[in-house]
Amino acid sequence: MAEEILAPVHAVGRRVLTALAHVGRLSRLLAEIVRALAEWRIWLPRAFEETATIGTGSLPIILLVSAFAGAVTALQTGYQFTGNIPYYVAGSLIVESVVLELGPVLSGLILAGRIGARYAAELGTMRVTEQIDALETLGRSPASHLVIPRVIAGIIMVPMLVVVADIVGVFCGWLAVKQVLPVSNDAFQYGARVFWHPFDAYYSVIKGFAFGICITVISCYCGFSTEQGAEGVGKSTTNAVVASCVMVLLLDTLLAKLLLK
């Protein structure tokens, strides 16, 4: 009887302990990363390779999604316009929507899937095939060989891809809006400038930077924590993508609250 009553307490306790264990292991990984920063001769060349790989690999999907996001924003803007709103406002709406939100967040979510899944699966496979153990027994730091290059690649490449997404989104929005509203190029440019603050561009890049760190650190952590063979790799990959997506959305809200005043 007492056991039945205490069962929910035990379940909550187990979950709390699991969460604390994750926090502890993640903190340890972050400490390893900081410690291994001194080994730049190892991580620097690998970071260049990783940057090039994720940059070239992610570019097509970022171009595609940002183009559609810009175009759809423009088409929906056209749908909601009535005769009382000046047409140049469409320029303001499209540019601000794409630069402040759609460009960075859609890029973040896509890259959480693409890079997050890739890194978690790669490192998870290395964990279950004892390649990470092998690195340690050879006296080499897995953080400098495997984690830092990936995190640096994310920090460099995600903001760059966000900038590309912003430009392509705005450009496609401009082309699309002309199909649904009689807005001239001059009016569109005027509208874009009316509500534009130079900080908007920085805000977009800051978001990309924050997403880059969180996606790469989370996915590397999930990969490192992999257990139990192929099934474990599958679980880690799913966890990495889900956790990265959630973190992207949380950071999106947090940064809007902190930086947009």
Q: Which residues form the interface with another protein (CB under 8 A)?
A: 126, 129-131, 133-140
Please give the Cα distance from 257 to 261 (Å, whole number).
8
Which is nearer to another protein, 186 or 231 (by Cβ)? 231
Q: Minimum Å distance from CB 144 to another protein? A: 12
Residue 236 near residue 120 (C-beta atoms within 8 A): yes
Q: Minimum Å distance from CB 131 to another protein? A: 5
Q: CA triplet 22, 251, 214: central angle to 5 degrees?
A: 50
Which is nearer to another protein, 8 or 139 (by Cβ)? 139
Which is nearer to another protein, 2 or 138 (by Cβ)? 138
Q: Pinpoint the alpha helices (H) of 98-197.
A: 103-128, 131-137, 142, 148-180, 185-194
Which is nearer to another protein, 47 or 110 (by Cβ)? 47
Please give the Cα distance from 238 to 232 (Å, whole number).
10
Q: For residue 99, which of 173, 155, 183 has the smallest C-alpha distance?
A: 173
Residue 211 near residue 90 (C-beta atoms within 8 A): no
**C-alpha count within 13 angstroms, C-beta hemisphere, residue 209:** 7
Which is nearer to another protein, 130 or 186 (by Cβ)? 130
Q: Is 44 left (phi over 0), alpha (psi -120 to 50) or beta?
A: alpha
The three-state secondary structure class of 3 is helix
Q: Minimum Å distance from CB 138 to another protein? A: 5
Q: Minimum Å distance from CB 41 to another protein? A: 9
Please give the Cα distance from 225 to 126 (Å, whole number).
11
Tokens representing 105?
Answer: 């967040």
CA dihedral over 202, 206, 207, 211, signed as positive or negative: positive
Which is nearer to another protein, 140 or 178 (by Cβ)? 140
Q: Minimum Å distance from CB 134 to another protein? A: 4
How many residues are recorded in the chain?
A: 261
Which is nearer to another protein, 168 or 233 (by Cβ)? 233
Q: Minimum Å distance from CB 135 to another protein? A: 8
Q: Minimum Å distance from CB 11 to another protein? A: 16
